[in-house]
């Protein structure tokens, strides 16, 4: 009987395929840029990139003159890739291999915490625990910005095909709650990467944010293929036009 690979194993195997210095994966175009834009002016701020992967977003943030960036990820190989890039570019980013669900958050430390596609890899109760820890680790008026797959994606885009999907199986939007859905996301060069999502509804995200003690949801954006993105590569992005792909939240302590 085969055993399902853990998230750590998936990303340890795929670390080289995720390494990049320019946009290549669907979400590098549709998800990461608008989410990073939601971070606003980060000059002089202390930032934690939670679930940093091989450091792609950390490196983008480093160009915006923060005081300090710390990157944390569960995959040793992803952190190895991040440190290799840091050795050659020397952006001053400190990377650590840690499980976000077990990470010892320092209290009242960070101005901003970024969580780029991290909550889709944990069930609801773990997300709630992480959010509570994030809240305690933020300074007063500190913020978290996070992105997740759009809750409706798997149930709108039911064909399991390129360039992005989650397999909803026998489930619907409501009874799939906290069910782990397997999926794939493609690079423009044609390679498919394995992704995964514990399905959560908008209600799950909002209630978790409120229960963790955050004072306000500052902003929420539903993210999709825009005309500008479509013009980059019409053939690659055409099948995703009109599909809600991701949702990004900005929340304040």
Place of tokens 């050659």: 88
Residue 122's domain is classified under what CATH number?
Answer: 3.40.50.150
Mean of the pLDDT values across residues 68-95?
Answer: 97
Strand order in the sheet with 192-198: 164-166, 180-186, 192-198
How confident is the model at residue 4, as a pLDDT? 81
How confident is the model at residue 158, as a pLDDT? 83
Place of tokens 């782990």: 180
**pTM for the full model?**
0.97
Q: Is residue 209 part of a domain?
A: yes
Residue 1 has pLDDT above 50, yes or no: no
Distance, in Å, from the CA atom of 17 to the CA atom of 118, rounded to the nearest integer, reads 18
Q: Is residue 196 part of a domain?
A: no
Tokens matching residue 164: 């992005």
Q: Is residue 173 part of a domain?
A: no
Q: Is residue 190 part of a domain?
A: no
Q: Is residue 171 part of a domain?
A: no
Domain count, the chain: 1
Q: Is residue 179 part of a domain?
A: no
Residue 2 has pLDDT above 70, yes or no: no
Residue 11 has pLDDT above 90, yes or no: yes
How confident is the model at residue 15, as a pLDDT? 95
Please give the mean pLDDT across all residues of the chain: 96
Q: Is residue 242 part of a domain?
A: yes
- Condensed to tens digits (0 to 9), the pLDDT of residues 171-210 reads 999 999 999 999 999 999 999 999 999 999 999 999 999 9
Domain range enclosing 112:
7-150+201-252
Residue 68 has pLDDT above 90, yes or no: yes
Distance, in Å, from the CA atom of 185 to the CA atom of 203, rounded to the nearest integer, reads 25
Q: Is residue 192 part of a domain?
A: no
Residue 128 has pLDDT above 60, yes or no: yes
Regarding predicted confidence, which is higher, 3 or 114?
114
Distances (CA, A) of 8 to 130, 144, 179, 197: 17, 24, 18, 14
Place of tokens 């809600």: 244
- What percent of the chain stands above pLDDT 70? 99
**SS3 for 195?**
strand
Residue 169 has pLDDT above 70, yes or no: yes
pLDDT band for 3, please (50, 70, 90 cuts): low
């Amino acid at each position: 009987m085969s055993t399902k690979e853990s998230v750590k194993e998936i990303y340890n195997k795929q670390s080289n395929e995720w390494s990049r210095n320019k946009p290549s994966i669907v979400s590098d175009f549709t998800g990461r840029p608008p989410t990073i834009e939601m971070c606003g002016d980060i000059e002089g701020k202390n930032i934690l990139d939670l679930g940093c992967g091989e450091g792609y977003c950390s490196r983008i943030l480093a160009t915006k003159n923060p005081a300090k960036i710390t990157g944390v990820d569960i995959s040793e190989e992803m952190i190895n890739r991040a440190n290799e890039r840091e050795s050659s570019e020397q952006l001053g980013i400190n990377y650590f291999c840690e499980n976000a669900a077990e990470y010892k958050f320092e209290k009242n430390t960070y101005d901003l915490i970024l969580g780029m596609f991290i909550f889709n890899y944990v069930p609801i109760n773990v997300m709630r625990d992480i959010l509570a820890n994030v809240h305690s680790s933020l300074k007063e008026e500190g913020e978290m910005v996070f992105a997740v797959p759009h809750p409706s994606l798997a149930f709108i885009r039911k064909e399991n095909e390129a360039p992005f999907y989650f397999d909803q199986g026998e489930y619907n939007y409501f009874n799939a709650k906290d069910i782990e859905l397997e999926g794939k996301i493609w690079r423009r060069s044609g390679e498919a990467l394995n992704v995964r999502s514990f399905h959560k509804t908008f209600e799950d995200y909002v209630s978790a944010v409120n229960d963790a003690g955050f004072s306000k949801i500052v902003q929420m954006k539903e993210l999709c293929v825009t005309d500008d993105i479509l013009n980059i590569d019409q053939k690659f992005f055409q099948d995703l036009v009109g599909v809600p792909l991701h949702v990004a939240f900005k929340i304040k302590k």
